[in-house]
Structure 1
């Protein structure tokens, strides 16, 4: 499986965060619909989608922190 590359620029990372927010909103709607229908398969799909959104957030936040740490190291030298 090919490794997905993270956005290089800080602006790209913030755009990625925005996309994750929209994804989270979609997952919330999907969960609400699945609960209303009492459909276990749709609920399972929604939970898996939520895990993907959470992982995306975590990866973007980690890359922003690493970038901030690199800048702090450069300023400290």
Structure 2
């Protein structure tokens, strides 16, 4: 595997990569809220259910990323000083 590809794969597990992933996930909240407002105006219960499931998925994803970020802090070699 090339060095650049290996470096890119390592970015995903870095602190910066985790923060980028969390921010990306939170951008999904904006469209989910917009869809929720539109569904309420239209009285579309099925769309509201879809929004609720999407919101739960976003919340779960962010929670998993935060947990991984905390694990990175615990595994940090410099923190053992």
Could you tell me the TM-score, scaled by structure 1's length?
0.81
Unaligned runs of 5+ in 1: 1-6
Q: Which ranges of 4 or more aligned residues in structure 1 deviate by more than 4 Å?
A: none
Unaligned runs of 5+ in 2: 1-11
Q: Whose helix fraction is larger, Structure 1's or Structure 2's? A: 2
Secondary structure of the residue aligned to 2:13 is coil
Q: Which has the larger radius of gyration?
A: 2
Alignment of 1:51-62 (within 5 A): 51-62=56-67
Output one character per residue of 1:17-62: Cα deviation in whole Å (capped at 9) or x when no partner: 1111101111111111111110001001000000010001101100
How does 1:21-40 map onto structure 2 within 5 Å? 21-40=26-45
TM-score scaled by structure 2? Answer: 0.77
RMSD between aligned alpha carbons? 1.5
